[in-house]
Structure 1
Amino acid sequence: MHSLSLLQTTLNRHHNPFVCSPFLLHEMLSSVDAKLSAALEPASASAARGRDSRALDGSPLRELIFECAQAVARHDLDRSLGILRYLASKVPEAGDAGERVGAYFTRALACRVAKRLEAAGGNGPEGDHSELLASLRIPDAPSQEEIHAAYLALNRVTPFLRFAHLTANQAIVEEMEGEDIVHLVDFEIMQGVQWPPLMQALAERPGGPPHLRLTGIGSSPDILRQTGNRLADFARTLNLPFEFLPLVAGGIEQVSVDMFSKREGEVVAVNCVLQLNRFLEKGPDSLKAFLEMIQTLRPKVVTLAEREANHNQPQFLDRFGEAYRHYAIIFDSLEATLPPRSPDRVTVEEVWFGREIANIVSCDGADWVERHETFEQWREIMESAGFHSLPPSTFALAQAKLLLRYYPSEGYRLFENDDCLLLGWQDHPLFTVSSWH
């Protein structure tokens, strides 16, 4: 018997995922947002402040930013500071997509120059760089509450996270068909918005639901407790036998196999959404040890979601150029679907993507943690660790296509691969989801 698709079970038990209406999908997704996110959502990050200045043409702005990056790469502080001061007075914070992404890369370059000046113990040939940073309105590092708010906003306004969640969930449901005790291990559960559709699919499984145990890993005991309570309440409405097992860890690299309360007879599924890239800064031995730890859990399926980008290049200009291309495409997608002053758009750009841009451009060494890789590299890593890919099912592809009908723009596109599904904007893949055993 084929496994029921997640949207199939969620949308009033429709038999074929191709015939579910966009209206029903909209209802389901909106309901999940309302029940599991809105009530406990932290305060949004501060909105960007507009600036009265002449908008620059996209092409000259990009050329100036790349010229500045080249000056930074060759340690030319005079030229770097001169271009940055010019850009600080000209780049609008609330312009079009090209201007907005340019503003974040300008900020990131300014932070890199400031770090270099501070390391040298002076302010450089052009005077006090603190004035430059202030003129660029570089915000303080976001709090955990602001990061969680940005995560929820990203989940609302783009299909990227939902695509990752639903595609991973579909693989888990299919692999867990017929199992009596299912143990999910989620590395970085956040608010748990991934799991209600899967819980509903399991609750409506022919022959009755399994007993579901969910180990949620996170750094905040309070957020884990709130997430566990919400999911337990949701499970009760489904009559789904459910246990939530919180596991507090400062980072997934701190998790060890003896922290899991595995039981006899249960079947394990491991979920890693935007997590494995965190190990790239620590070196191949750290990632190898983590994958070996996962193997000791003997999971039936491991689901991965990662960026389709190469931000792990050691040469600064190489990773700068790749990052600019990647985030310019993402900002284009936000502009096509959200108004310029949308609070959600500002939150996602500043707290989520802006934070990533700042890390990729301004940091080196152990501080540089946003080291994304392409699927080809992840496939090589997983296969060398002894994992084998599971091809995405026709149900996974069908529900991914249906999901995109929920969003107002036709620019989002699916890319099929024998080993994964990719979601992107126009002709550019941006996110990839794969499953392994």
Structure 2
Amino acid sequence: MMQFTRSAPPLTSIHPSGLGPCLDDDASKHSLHRSWPWPGLLTSSKSLGRLNTASCMEQLLVHCANAIESNDATLAQQILWVLNNIAPPDGDSNQRLTSAFLRALIARASKTGSCKMLTAVAARADADLAIHLHRFSAIDLASFIDLTPWHRFGYAAANSAIVEAVEGLPVVHIVDLSTTHCMQVPTLIDLLANRPEGPPFIRLTVPTFTTTATPPLLDMSYDELGSRLVNFARSRNVAMEFIMIPSDPSDAFDSLIEQLRVQRLVSEGEAVIVNCQMLPHYIPEETVGAIVSTMNVNSPILSLRTMFLKALRSLEPTLVTLVDEDADFTSCDVVGRLRSAFNYLWIPYDAVDTFLPKGSEQRRWYEAGLCWKIENVVAQEGLQRVERLEPKGRWGQRMRAAGFRSVRFTEEAAGEVKSMLGEHAAGWGLKREDEDLMLTWKGHNVVFASAWMPS
């Protein structure tokens, strides 16, 4: 990424307040809008070291974002200089996290043009700022996902609930709304193949996105992926049909829902399972609906997420599994999103140190995906900002309002998840929240798993 000069930038004035309690006092906050508040900081490595804590780096990022939004290029460049010195991209987990937010703020200045001087600087650094995402083969992606319980947790919880819900049913239609290209499906096929009453016929439907794909990227067509999955199922003596439907979160999977509705009319006795794994939060929520409505004065403001869930409910599914990250990235204010993302995404940066060595190729792939997420949250606006996570409680409210009731995960399901977590580093944990399961890292909520039936 671009590097700022290590010599001190020119200062317009010096504020006598000193370092202060890491910018938390009101005087320091207001002084940031007028001048550089820390005398001697730029020439003292000891002073720079005093800022090398997560809370101070967060405050610096917040003030930098405010400076960019208020078009204070001088102050923004000064803070960026400090951040560049205290947060190298190859440092510890907090430094790498901060470095990712640093590049996202530079990208925001470039994309929005909100800080003219920085826009010119960022334009000259586009090559260094570009995030290079790896394209996985199916085998490499499966191996990559197995490194961490981030996705495996949801797979294990959802698969257990699905197998129980379709017990004894001869035809199972699985609608896989996931970000990981059906990587959950082989394990589910294995579980269904071993049913005492024999395996069901499986119909697997997946959406194929019509807009820009999100990481992880697959270096394979869905035609080939489907062929491989059908062959895998056949090797387990399971008959399976693979169906692709061009559809996208941007329109709340309207094409997919419509085709499922038609299929429902002609397929009696078919159990419909909708497996939502970290994909529904890409459906635009109300703030984007407001943006869209401004393009057409006759268009009402609609909640696409509400429309999607109500459409699912109208299909009378046997079960809906909903797994997602337990965070809130929906604020209209960039500073609010930055704070939420910083206080959530430290988790994957902290965890990666336990399972991937520094400098490894897989670690570069892993952290490039995190950088993409951070840039999308911080630098993008409107329909381009697709990372709009909502916390578990809000999804629960949405599901109940759409006519679903929650289903408690059994002790057997929880046991399967605990067994899987035993394969990973200490620090990962499991807890129950109401009927749901929650993956934790060092006691902090990470990913929730929930199951729902029509009420």
**Taking structure 2 as the reference length, what is the TM-score of the superposition?**
0.76
Matched residues in 1 for 2:61 and 2:137: separation?
27
Shift of 1:346: 1.4
Distance 1:180 1:127, change over 3 A: closer
Deviation larger for 383-392 or 71-80: 71-80
1:63-212 alignment, distance < 5 Å: 63-88=59-84, 91-117=87-113, 123-124=116-117, 128-130=120-122, 133-134=125-126, 137-140=128-131, 142=133, 145=135, 152=142, 155-188=145-178, 190-212=180-202
1:429 is matched with which residue? 445
Instruction: Report if the CA contact (8 A) 2:176-2:182 is conserved.
Output: no
Distance 1:82 1:173, change over 3 A: same
Instruction: Report if the CA contact (8 A) 2:171-2:201 is conserved.
Output: yes
1:29 is matched with which residue? none
1:42 is matched with which residue? none
Matched residues in 2 for 1:265 and 1:290: separation?
23
Shift of 1:142: 4.1
Paired AA for residue 375 in structure 1 = K
2:274 is matched with which residue? 270
Q: Secondary structure at the match of 1:388?
A: strand
User: Is 1:236 the equivalent of 2:253?
Assistant: no
1:230-249 CA-partner distances (Å, limit 9, x unpaired): 11111111111211112232
**RMSD (Å), alpha carbons:** 3.0
Matched residues in 1 for 2:331 and 2:170: separation?
45
Paired AA for residue 421 in structure 1 = L
2:208 aligned to which of 203, 218, 222: 218
Matched residues in 2 for 1:169 and 1:50: separation?
46
Distance 1:152 1:203, change over 3 A: closer
Distance 1:154 1:323, change over 3 A: farther
How many residues matched?
382
1:410 is matched with which residue? 426
Distance 1:256 1:238, change over 3 A: closer
Instruction: Report if the CA contact (8 A) 2:131-2:371 is conserved.
Output: no
Instruction: Report if the CA contact (8 A) 1:153-1:344 is conserved.
Output: no
Instruction: Report if the CA contact (8 A) 2:208-2:246 is conserved.
Output: yes
Matched residues in 1 for 2:119 and 2:174: separation?
55
1:261-291 CA-partner distances (Å, limit 9, x unpaired): 3412211100111122112444452112211
Matched residues in 2 for 1:217 and 1:367: separation?
19
Mark the runs of 5 or more structure 1 residues left unpaired by the alignment.
1-47
Distance 1:208 1:224, change over 3 A: same
Matched residues in 2 for 1:294 and 1:411: separation?
36
Shift of 1:336: 2.5
Instruction: Report if the CA contact (8 A) 1:171-1:396 is conserved.
Output: yes
Matched residues in 1 for 2:277 and 2:143: separation?
17
Matched residues in 1 for 2:382 and 2:235: separation?
48
**Taking structure 1 as the reference length, what is the TM-score of the superposition?**
0.79
Bigger proportion of residues as helix: 1
Shift of 1:92: 1.7
Deviation larger for 82-91 or 298-307: 82-91
1:386 is matched with which residue? 403
1:280-295 alignment, distance < 5 Å: 280-281=284-285, 282-283=288-289, 285-295=303-313
1:253-402 alignment, distance < 5 Å: 253-260=253-260, 261-262=263-264, 263-281=267-285, 282-283=288-289, 285-350=303-368, 352-402=369-419
Shift of 1:158: 1.3
Mark the runs of 5 or more structure 2 residues left unpaired by the alignment.
7-44, 211-217, 290-301
Matched residues in 2 for 1:267 and 1:86: separation?
58
Paired AA for residue 101 in structure 2 = F
Instruction: Report if the CA contact (8 A) 1:189-1:216 is conserved.
Output: no
Quote the sequence identity (%): 28
Paired AA for residue 240 in structure 2 = F
1:310-369 CA-partner distances (Å, limit 9, x unpaired): 11122322221111011112211111222111211211111x211110011112222221
Greater relative contact order, per chain length (Cα 8 Å cut-off, separation 6+) = 1
Q: Secondary structure at the match of 1:313?
A: coil
Q: Secondary structure at the match of 2:332?
A: coil
